Amino acid sequence: MSATDITDNILSGSKARLVPVVADSKKEERATSVLLSTFMLVPQLAEAVLTDAGAKIGVRSDIKCYTEIVFKNKDQNRARPDGLIVITRGSNRWSALVESKIGNNDLTKEQIESYLDLAREVGANAVITISNQFATTPTHHPVSVNKTKTRTVDLFHFSWLSVLSKASIMSEAKGIDDREQSMILRELVRYLGHSYSGVSPMNSMNSEWKDVCTQVQEGAVLKKSAPEIEATAVSWQQLLRYMSLELSMATNSTVQVAISRAHAKDPVALLQSDISDLVSRSTLYGALSVPNAAGPIAICADLTRKVLSLSMRVNAPEDRSRATAAINWLTRQLKSVTESPDLLIKAIWPGKTADTQCSITEAIDEPSTLVPAKIKGIPKAFEVIRVIDLGSRFKGQKVFVESAIAAVPAFYRDAGQNLTKWVAPPPKTKTEELKEKADYDDIEPEPGITESPDGAILAGN
């Protein structure tokens, strides 16, 4: 069955409404209807969200959205999708079934797989799930499903907060000229941002977090196959995504979780990498990429030391001849945050020379503190670091998340937004070089100073 036939085969359902008439208890139905109707009324939001799910939306695209769909000639006891999106662009049509969850309700494997089966039967291109669960990218689903189910139907996931983030950034940027559309978008942001909508932030690590921390701190050997280890790695990935969304709204820009191309294509490999780091190093790593920033924000949770560290790395300027001059280039960018003595500066040296480190205050007052003895060259790079020692609070499921969420925007405010990459100055033309030499040659020698036949300046007696 093609996408063209989908709407003809709807047994029951209705077009998505901006003001749905549903019982107060049906928060999922209300949120789904409000969002899908906004897609129809504000195509730019639909494009910003659904492009990540493979939809191609242009100026002439026609977007139709429906809720509480039941298809003809289908088993009435089977799952009924919360929504249906159909996008027509010329002769091309794309459609997706939508399943949403609100509050603490999580998606389940069985339910998602039943929707994938239904999508294949009715000819939908994709299944889109929306919940308060977080995913690194829309293609990294928080629930693992049988791979055979996604051979002909794509599966995508969005957190409600990711949708809110895109809508908020778009609204703040005032990029929508149409007054009514702009007003509708602001109302969506207001609705999703209210606790009554059922959209909730991440406020806790997985239930096994405390036990895993205790095992590490007692010296136990962790096993890659242990379910609590996988659950902890998944929870960490969700926390990274949540922090990226929080920083997105704080900076009004799209902050992404920084991952390799290989891991972007293979979420299982990404998960295994995090599990390996947790088991072998007792650490969890991640990074956030901020548009136009000097570099990504690296984040590390060290379960052994019970600390959370954040850092940014920049290459040292290559046009400095002295190490202290290179250090001053960095510290000049951070002089406005001297009231943050917990910021550390690390100088990374070439060859076998050990890295050096001191507080930002020491680096500003005495840059030579970072210079090892008998070193004549300059560092190859610098790292600006903040280490947060949580001590016994580290294993607290909520405390850890609260501390991490607060730490990221604070570090970006104090360090990240002030750092810039070193850029080599443009080369001068030969004409300018010759002019500088000519200007120099025109200078009259001072009394008591003579020139040698080759033009060198000689001191007089």
pLDDT at 374: 84
Sheet holding 381-389, edge to edge: 256-257, 283-289, 297-302, 307-315, 381-389, 343-348, 356-359
Two tokens at 409? 């925007």
Contacts of 38 (CB under 8 A, 6+ apart): 18, 45, 167, 184, 185, 188
Burial of 293 (0-12, 13-18, 19+ CB in 10 A): buried
What token pair was written down for 217? 């701190």
pTM value? 0.82
Q: What is the C-alpha to C-alpha distance for residues 369 and 357, in angstroms, rounded to an integer?
A: 8
* Beta-bridge partner residues of 99: 129
pLDDT score at 442: 45
80 close to 14: Cβ distance less than 8 angstroms: no
Chunked mean pLDDT (size 10), the chain, 461 residues: 65 88 85 96 95 90 92 69 92 93 92 93 94 93 93 96 93 86 94 90 94 96 94 95 95 94 92 96 97 97 97 95 94 82 92 94 93 90 97 96 96 95 86 56 44 39 36
> Are 156 and 139 in contact, with CB atoms under 8 Å apart?
yes
Residue type, 274: D
Residue 252 near residue 417 (C-beta atoms within 8 A): no
Question: Is the Cβ–Cβ distance between 343 and 360 less than 8 Å?
Answer: yes
Enumerate the H helices of 105-208 as residue ranges: 109-122, 160-173, 179-192
**Using only C-alpha atoms, what is the Rg of the chain?**
29
Q: Do 67 and 29 form a contact (C-beta atoms < 8 A)?
A: yes
Phi/psi at 86 (5° precision): -130, 120
Tokens of 345: 């500066």
- Nearest Cα to Cα of residue 377 among 357, 337, 418, 348: 348
Do 66 and 16 contact (CB within 8 A), yes or no?
yes
- 388 forms beta bridges with 308
Place of tokens 């794309």: 94
